[in-house]
Amino acid sequence: MSKVRVLVGTRKGAFILTSDGKRDKWEVSGPHFAGWEIYHVKGSPVDPNRIYASQTSGWFGQIIQRTDDGGKTWIQPGTPPGEPTTAPGGMPKGESNKFVYDTSAETGKPLTTHQWYDGNQHPWEFKRVWHLEPSLSDRETVYAGVEDAALFRSADGGKSWHELAGLRGHGTGPKWQPGAGGMCLHTIILDPSDPKKIYIAISAAGAFRTDDGGKTWRPINRGLKSPYIPNPEAEVGHCVHRIAMHRSRPGVLFMQKHWDVMRSDNSGDSWTEVSGNLPTDFGFVIDVHAHEPETVYVVPIKSDGEHYPLEGKLRVYRSRTGGNEWEALTKGLPQRDCYVNVLRDAMAVDALDKCGIYFGTTGGQVYCSADAGDNWAPIVRDLPAVLSVEVQTLP
Amino acid sequence: MIRVVLPPHLRGLARISGEVKLEIEGQPTQRAVLDALEASYPMLRGTIRDHVTQQRRPFLRFFACEEDLSHESPDALLPDAVVSGKEPLLIIGAIAGG
């Protein structure tokens, strides 16, 4: 029977939740990296036992962790303890937590400033890794989305990182600005049909696409309307919270923007709103059913000033029509006095025949539905605030 | 022999318990101690000093002999009691936030 492994990042460590395909009895492992913020944990599709974790701290900075045995043991890729930190030729060995913005002459432009909260220009400063996206085809390649917004790639299993500087350098960088959570690159989607096509999203700059493996990028925000910025239909400046894709239709994208749920049928070239009958179209997460590419899930949140569900009722909304027509899913979820949030990387789906849907809350609950959202149950109730949830479906 | 006390998060990262004891070649300065510490425990690189600027991370402080050495030059000599091993160099996570 298949198994599932749920990878949970929290404010105070990582947790690994495992179950068989029934998904009714769970084993909980953790906290791993106790006391550290774990922004994201994600496994390689090529080798599911290889899992990367972004471990971070306001005091001690960024750490990258990796396991090659499904989470039993972890290492910081790079130089083992006691070994020289330089190679025989004197060059530094890879350092897995060294994220240095590219200022090389080859990439040309001085990528030095972006817009700050006060409207002035501000230098790019690395703060943390928000999202790790392992390659769909190469075990050693993994992408990192960081704050201040940039995309990095490692081709050696996380030992060393190099910026794909064409993203910051394509021209709109000075107009990017931080959202309330910082100027983070939080979404990385690799197109399974075209290894050169990558989508990313930044708060608050918007969505971007490369068609040449990361050398050149362009904004893909046409159709987004954000009344809270000076030009509501600007090329960049939109606070995109999350984008999701079904791997069978890589040209169809679904987006949870700050406000508005959006859809694109042309790889992001244009977007249309599909908020439809949602009670509020503010939210953070969005995901697509593993086997039904028109079935989409969101968790509506009251507003940008009140980050909790409407009326204290935690409800997932499902559309089976690719948007516009939404139904509330409530069975097993608290329907009174619930004031948690569900953060942008905290929803995932498994690939079992009856698709499982998972999400974590800032109240420390991780919920699972083993029947595509009809019924829900908590896997755990009392973790630290959940930052991210990923699921692996294992043989 | 110089003794260094790390904050709990960094002891966990380095997979050690208790103090670190370091032999320093040359002048006993903050920079020399941190260089030796990072050579023995490469996983600590970037966690105490910025990778590029080598500046102390903002929320970390250096104390010894009941004195705050955080704003001393990294090339200033450490107190004699630290150099002799009588007192440890304390690396402390500042209390910040609420």
Q: What is the pLDDT along chain A (395 residues), one digit of tens a residue?
A: 799 999 999 999 999 999 999 999 999 999 999 999 999 999 999 999 999 999 999 999 999 999 999 999 999 997 666 666 666 666 666 688 999 998 877 775 656 789 888 888 998 999 999 999 999 999 999 999 999 999 999 999 999 999 999 999 888 999 999 988 899 999 999 999 999 999 999 999 999 999 999 999 999 999 999 998 889 999 999 999 999 999 999 999 999 999 999 999 999 999 999 999 999 999 999 999 999 999 999 999 999 999 999 999 999 999 999 999 999 999 999 999 999 999 999 999 999 999 999 999 999 999 999 999 999 999 999 999 999 999 999 99
Q: What is the DSSP letter of B77?
A: B
Q: Which residues pair with A133 in a beta bridge?
A: A143
Give the gap in angstroms from C-alpha B42 to the nearest C-alpha of chain A. Answer: 6
Task: Pick from A60, A99, A126, A146 the residue to mutate for testing the B interface (most B CBs within 10 Å).
Answer: A60
Q: For residue B42, give its domain range.
A: 2-93
* Residue B53 falls inside a structural domain: yes
Q: Which of A34, A59, A78 sits opposite B42 (nearest CB)?
A: A78
A204: preceding bond cis by omega (within 30 degrees): yes
* The predicted structure's pLDDT at residue A88: 67
Q: Which of A36, A81, A93 sits opposite B43 (nearest CB)?
A: A81
Task: Please report residues of B whose CB lies closer than 8 A to that of A35.
Answer: 8-9, 12
With an 8 Å Cβ cutoff, are B43 and A35 in contact? no
Q: Which of B9, B14, B45 sits opposite A35 (nearest CB)?
A: B9
* The predicted structure's pLDDT at residue A91: 61
With an 8 Å Cβ cutoff, are A81 and B41 in contact? yes
Contact present, A144 and A132 (Cβ < 8 Å): yes
Contact present, A150 and A66 (Cβ < 8 Å): no
Q: What is the DSSP letter of A141?
A: -
Chains A, B: CB contacts under 8 A, how many? 66
* The predicted structure's pLDDT at residue A117: 84
A 60-119: CB under 8 A from B = 60-63, 76, 78-85, 93, 95, 97-98, 100
CB atoms within 10 A of CB A110: 8
Of A33, B35, B50, which Cα lies nearest the Cα of B59?
B50
A62 to chain B: nearest residue by CA?
B47
* Residue B44 falls inside a structural domain: yes
With an 8 Å Cβ cutoff, are A59 and B41 in contact? no
pTM above 0.90, yes or no: yes
What is the ipTM for the molecules in this complex?
A: 0.92
Convert the pLDDT of each residue in A371-384 to its tens digit. Answer: 999 999 999 999 99
Query: Quick check: A303 contacting B, CB < 8 Å?
Result: no
CATH of residue B85's domain is: 3.10.20.30
* The predicted structure's pLDDT at residue A118: 84
* Residue B83 falls inside a structural domain: yes
Give the gap in angstroms from C-alpha B40 to the nearest C-alpha of chain A. Answer: 5
With an 8 Å Cβ cutoff, are A76 and B40 in contact? no
Q: Which residues pair with A6 in a beta bridge?
A: A17, A391
With an 8 Å Cβ cutoff, are B57 and A80 in contact? no
C-alpha separations of A293 from A131, A234, A244, A322 in Å:
24, 29, 11, 8
Task: Please report residues of A whose CB lies closer than 8 A to that of B94.
Answer: 59
Q: Which of A82, A84, A95 sits opposite B45 (nearest CB)?
A: A95
* The predicted structure's pLDDT at residue A85: 63
With an 8 Å Cβ cutoff, are A61 and B52 in contact? no
- CA dist B84 and A336 (Å) reads 63
* Residue B16 falls inside a structural domain: yes
* Residue B36 falls inside a structural domain: yes
Q: Which of B15, B38, B57 sits opposite A60 (nearest CB)?
A: B57
Task: Please report residues of B whose CB lies closer than 8 A to that of A98.
Answer: 45-46, 51
* The predicted structure's pLDDT at residue A219: 98
* The predicted structure's pLDDT at residue A196: 97
Alpha helices in chain A (DSSP H): 166-169
* The predicted structure's pLDDT at residue B92: 95
* The predicted structure's pLDDT at residue A181: 86
Q: Which of B12, B47, B96 sits opposite A61 (nearest CB)?
A: B47
* Residue B98 falls inside a structural domain: no
* Residue B76 falls inside a structural domain: yes
Quote the number of domains for chain B. 1
- Which domains, and CATH codes, for chain A? 39-62+91-358 (2.130.10.10)
3-state secondary structure of B34: helix
